[in-house]
Chain A
């Protein structure tokens, strides 16, 4: 069937059609998206803060912004992939906690060299991710329940390792490295290097491989993905392992960045990560989203918090602004899909949610 001629047909042989690749021009496809809106907002807020917030354009603001958002930037990468499949990993902050604690225990208490301690900590993160992945992908439990459980489990381990004490005596050599700048006097800390490398790896993985296409297909319809030959179980398992590994790496960074670890290190970080991912335009139902939007989302939250802190606002006010932004973002996602659905005659997505025919089609796993 490698030829196109129809030998048997007595009817007029229809010419082979050709198609345009895209219905809309490039600028519409790239600019009229949620991701572009988040990036534009990031640029706008950044420019505004630069001009209007005292000390925002100082040398330290950007530097600390990157230092502080580094763990979120890191974990948001695998989290995006996990959420695109329609799953979620709530245990990431607890894995950060375990990894940070282990880095302290192995390096400071047991006297192992830091590279060894860090490798061990990341190894434990991989095991933790594998546990999540096994329970979700192969046992078939819902990831929300599984990772709420392991969130408590891993946090318990972290607290159990350190008790009420904290480990603070990390050698300066390593804590300085975590805060090292790429170039002398620049605003860019060294941690941006591994972040950039991982960001490239994850962008390629999600957007430029068959594995990544499978991730979207699983999120849109895992049954159809299975019928297409996508290994749904293995894909999900791998993503949870990646999530564990990157979270553990973030934990090592966390320990060195603050030079101090406690059982409750990075407590609650998972919600910041998920908020940033959703702000970046990833659908919590899976199947939609892109990494450039997520990275912009993380930085947008970072810039807003940083600017407001410089203005002397309290954490509560910052949280209110970010919360409102997140809600607006979710509404606008629904609004956009409603607007683009106008042509095909659909109604408001939330209006139709109460209809049984839609309810019956909700994801079933």
Chain B
């Protein structure tokens, strides 16, 4: 599998110059330029729609470029398939885990190249042993025998990373690999990434988190509107400089929440319990307040939110909205009472990705749109248009499929769909995951604005700066329990991380913000 040439040590591992790619009339990439040296970690940053993903897909062999130079290990290449790029030593870890859910973890890692025993039988013991070796190198404990189904996003990504490492790739492209990882897991990943760099491999790291870029990477290339902007050594630049280049204007990275008048209790959760998932969870959210559920990935934050909304069951406890108790497992009742829920997984849960924008935006309010029991596309379009407009969804027409849009735009569609119900409570799970800086600020401003108008917001976020910037109160969840409740002035990176990890000794972690 190793296609590395020893002589190529000085020449760049990957060299892209003025690469262009259009889809129909849309130029996704005008002139992509990227040069990655062996033994370095190279950050690729830019807003969503800047052309990063297209560039990565060209390297991965998913798309063929229309123009430009593409060299790998010093030789001109032109991949027609992902298999060709893999064979040439490229490994790509995508944002979205792409595992076979019914196969075991080890089988997923060794898909298509299982170790064999005599008689071409799959050598399971060796496969498990090699998987375990990979995991211990990554510092994680996943049973290689268990099926991939049901693993958390974090674990699934770890498996993708293990797969790429096992391929012994010369070039590793990681497309937001840390988006779903907790702080500890990110640290482990970084340690592995550094050791891979020290082995002489080239890494491309795409992230929206600048603290990670600056902590991990050696070089940084900025892209904007499908074009190359700049390449700098990370040590010689600053976050402000990079952000300014990305957006072409100065932007406050985080929009801090404007204090709003806090009103009556909107959401009341009492003694919520589900065996093995969360225990004795009680809290309140008031009108005009943003309450954050912070904690590590897998602590049970999303599960609590899903139970409150009614998609998951709970064993004991009580949920009341505006004083009215809500039945279990009845999302419709929760919606009718004024609850809105923006889930973590946009593509699977937030919207019907193959559906049109109009149908997605009107999907919750359509019960109010019918006349004499009949619902027309016209009524849906009429209702959806203004809401899409208020959130400044970027699209040419309302019948475009949501799948064709960028992550930030998809999130706006999900928000439009729920804000159209004019809710009393908005539960929002990872509001800005996978969203570019500009849209991120827009979402933060919107949430602050909504709270200012009396909406109660329960926000789940794994990004500490977001939690600290936005929340009036922070509830830190640790292993299914609310470990701490911190007011705005008590919440610091240290206090939140302390409670989230349940650690006794203070952490000496280089936490962000």
Contacts and interface: CB of A to CB of B under 8 A. Distances in A.
Q: Do A and B make up one complex?
A: yes
Interface of A: 1-2, 4, 6-9, 14, 16-23, 204, 208-210, 212-213, 216-217, 220-221, 223-229, 231, 287, 342-345, 355-357, 359-360, 364
Interface string B392-403: 110111111000
Choose among A1, A23, A217, A223 the residue with the greatest number of B CB atoms under 10 Å from its CB: A1
Given A1-B419, A22-B398, A342-B24, A213 B363 contact: yes
B375 A209 contact: yes
A152 B502 CA distance: 58
A21 B385 contact: yes
B63 A345 contact: yes
Nearest to A16: B389
Given A9-B445, A359-B100, A22 B393 contact: no
Grouping DSSP codes into helix (H, G, I), strand (E, B) and loop, the A interface class, with mixed when no group exceeds half, is: loop
Choose among B352, B359, B385 the residue with the greatest number of A CB atoms under 10 Å from its CB: B352
Interface in B364-409: 364, 366-367, 369-370, 373-378, 381, 385-386, 388-390, 392-393, 395-400, 404
Contact of A21 (B82, B332, B399, B455): B399
B9 interface: no
The 7 closest A-B CB pairs, nearest first, are: A357-B98, A343-B24, A23-B397, A17-B389, A21-B381, A16-B389, A20-B397
A221 B354 contact: yes
Contacts of B393: 17
A25 B510 CA distance: 56
Contacts of B452: 7-8
Nearest to A345: B23
B115 interface: no
Contact of A19 (B258, B374, B385, B445): B385
Interface in B316-368: 331-332, 335, 341, 343, 348-355, 358-359, 363-364, 366-367
A204 B373 CA distance: 10
A16 B375 contact: no
A214 to B, nearest CB: 9
A217 B389 contact: no
Interface residues of B, number: 70
A223 B348 contact: yes
B311 A21 contact: no
A21 to B, nearest CB: 4
Nearest to B148: A360
B395 to A, nearest CB: 7
Choose among B63, B375, B445 the residue with the greatest number of A CB atoms under 10 Å from its CB: B375
Contacts of B335: 229
Contacts of B149: 364
B449 interface: yes
A360 B366 CA distance: 32
Given A1-B419, A20-B396, A356-B99, 11 more contacts: A4-B390, A21-B381, A209-B375, A213-B375, A229-B332, A231-B332, A342-B24, A343-B26, A357-B94, A357-B98, A360-B99
Given A210-B366, A227-B311, A344-B23, A18 B331 contact: no
Choose among A213, A228, A287 the residue with the greatest number of B CB atoms under 10 Å from its CB: A228
Contacts of B96: 357
B143 to A, nearest CB: 19
A14 B386 CA distance: 14
A287 B378 CA distance: 20
A229 B364 contact: yes
11 contacts: A1-B422, A1-B455, A8-B445, A8-B448, A16-B386, A19-B396, A20-B396, A21-B358, A216-B359, A345-B21, A356-B100
A335 B349 CA distance: 28
Contacts of B389: 16-19
B352 A221 contact: yes
Nearest to A213: B366
Contacts of B417: 228
A91 to B, nearest CB: 27
Contacts of A220: 352-355
B453 to A, nearest CB: 5
A6 B350 CA distance: 25
B350 A227 contact: yes
A210 B353 contact: no
Contacts of A209: 370, 373-375
Contact of B23 (A2, A14, A229, A343): A343
Contact of B331 (A204, A216, A229, A360): A229
A63 to B, nearest CB: 34
